[in-house]
């Protein structure tokens, strides 16, 4: 896939999450991001000099029948773009997986690489944009291109998902667009840590929950504490009806 139209068509053809993940991994629709992922993988950070980087689009990770869908912004250049698993291999991921484990939604307290045995229960983690962007800042066009993958991911998990947890304001906006594209009636609710919106989708309701992103910008400054992240994840678990591991 090298055009947005091709992304849209390929996303629509994906009938399973495995199909979708495989197609995402072959996507080339955003040249700036494709180049950045590959350049980062070639140059590498000194600490990871001996590692083979993933260096491309990173698919979602987790339960195939989730009750909670977590949506982040995009892979980090030396985190998920290195390991090939969402929120894996960087400080943001350490925070997220640590909290998921504490509230009983992840088997292990850390997510190190794709072979570490980590498992999520009732949770799938994905992102608004599947390729690492320079400066962690995708363009509006890149958000729009990758939204086709997110919308299809939603259609494949919608039957079981009761909570969408958006990490950060940009993921909140992408989640709103995803739910509206699926026909959801979304009340006006501003993003904030712990914000909630009940989204009517046909004869059922999905709850959109907001959390500050566990980026170092937020965790170093104390804007987001472990207690705050644990509390919002526990709330998401409660709303989803998911039992802890
Ligand atoms: S950001 Fe999304 S649409 Fe763009 S190249 Fe990566 S996977 Fe494809």
Task: Kindly state if the Cβ of 156 falls inside 6 Å of ligand 1.
Answer: no
**What average pLDDT score do residues 195-224 get?**
97
Mutate to test the pocket of ligand 1, among 131, 149, 153, 170 (most ligand atoms within 8 A of CB): 131
Determine if ligand 1 sits within 6 Å of the CB of residue 106.
no
Question: From residue 8, how far is each of 4, 28, 123, 235 by CA, in Å?
Answer: 6, 13, 25, 34
| pLDDT reading at 199 higher than 80 | yes
Mean pLDDT within 199-224? 97
CA angle 227, 228, 233 (to 5 degrees): 95
Please indicate whether residue 33, judged by its CB atom, sits closer than 6 Å to ligand 1.
yes
Q: Is the CB of 29 under 6 A from ligand 1?
A: yes
Burial of 224 (0-12, 13-18, 19+ CB in 10 A): buried
What mean pLDDT, rounded, does the chain reach?
96
| Residue 30 pLDDT class (50, 70, 90 cuts) | very high
Task: Name the nearest CA neighbour of 209 among 233, 187, 225.
Answer: 233
Q: Could you tell me if the CB of 55 is within 6 A of ligand 1?
A: no
**CA distance linking residue 127 with residue 69, whole number of Å:** 10
Per-residue pLDDT at 237: 97
What is the rounded distance in angstroms from the CA atom of residue 139 to the CA atom of residue 121?
A: 33
Q: Please write the tens of the pLDDT for every residue from 46-60.
A: 999 999 999 999 999
Query: How is the beta sheet containing 123-127 ordered, strand by strand?
Result: 61-62, 123-127, 68-72, 163-167, 204-211, 196-201
Distance CA(235)–CA(244), nearest Å, equals: 12
Question: What is the Å distance from ligand 1's center to 75 Cα?
Answer: 11
* Predicted pLDDT at 148: 98
Q: Is pLDDT at 245 greater than 80 in this prediction?
A: no
Is 127's C-beta closer than 6 angstroms to any atom of ligand 1? Answer: no
Band of pLDDT at residue 185, cut at 50, 70 and 90: very high
Element of type H or E holding 187: none
In whole angstroms, what is the distance from residue 101 CA to residue 122 CA?
Answer: 12
Give the list of residues 6+ apart from residue 98 with CB closer than 8 angstroms, or none: 109, 110, 226
pLDDT of 104 > 80? The answer is yes
Is the model more confident about 245 or about 152? 152
pLDDT at 244 over 80: no
Residue 221, pLDDT score: 97
**pLDDT given for residue 178 in this prediction:** 98
What's the confidence (pLDDT) of residue 213? Answer: 98
pTM over 0.85: yes
- Confidence at 42, pLDDT banded by 50, 70, 90: very high
β-bridge pairing 196-201 and 68-72:
unpaired
DSSP state of 183: T
Name the residue of 5, 27, 153 to mutate for ligand 1: max ligand atoms within 8 A of Cβ: 27
Of the chain, the percentage scoring pLDDT greater than 90 comes to 96
């940009």: which residue's tokens? 170
Question: pLDDT of 212-232, one tens digit each?
Answer: 999 999 999 999 999 999 999
Percent of the chain with pLDDT over 70: 100
**CA–CA separation, 110 and 119 (whole Å):** 10
Query: What stretches of 127-209 show up as alpha helix (H) in DSSP?
Result: 140-157, 169-181
């Amino acid at each position: 896939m090298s055009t947005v139209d091709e992304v849209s068509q390929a996303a629509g053809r994906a009938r399973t999450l495995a199909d979708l993940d495989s197609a995402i991994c072959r996507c080339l629709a955003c040249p700036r991001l494709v180049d950045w992922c590959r350049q980062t993988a070639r140059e590498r950070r000194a600490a990871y000099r001996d590692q083979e980087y993933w260096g491309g689009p990173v698919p979602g990770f987790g339960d195939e029948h989730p009750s909670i869908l977590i949506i982040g912004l995009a892979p980090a250049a030396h985190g998920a773009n290195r390991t090939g698993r969402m929120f894996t291999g960087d400080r943001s991921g350490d925070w997220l997986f640590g909290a998921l484990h504490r509230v009983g939604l992840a088997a292990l307290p850390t997510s190190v690489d794709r072979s570490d045995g980590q498992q999520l229960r009732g949770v799938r983690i994905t992102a608004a944009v599947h390729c690492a962007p320079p400066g962690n800042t995708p363009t509006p066009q890149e958000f729009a291109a990758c939204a086709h993958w997110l919308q299809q991911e939603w259609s494949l998990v919608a039957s079981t998902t009761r909570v969408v947890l958006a990490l950060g304001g940009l993921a909140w906006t992408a989640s709103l667009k995803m739910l509206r594209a699926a026909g959801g009636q979304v009340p006006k609710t501003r993003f904030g840590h712990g914000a909630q919106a009940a989204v009517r989708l046909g004869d059922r309701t999905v709850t959109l929950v907001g959390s500050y992103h566990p980026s170092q910008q937020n965790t170093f400054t104390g804007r987001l504490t472990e207690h705050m992240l644990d509390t919002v994840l526990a709330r998401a678990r409660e709303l989803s009806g998911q039992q802890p591991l």
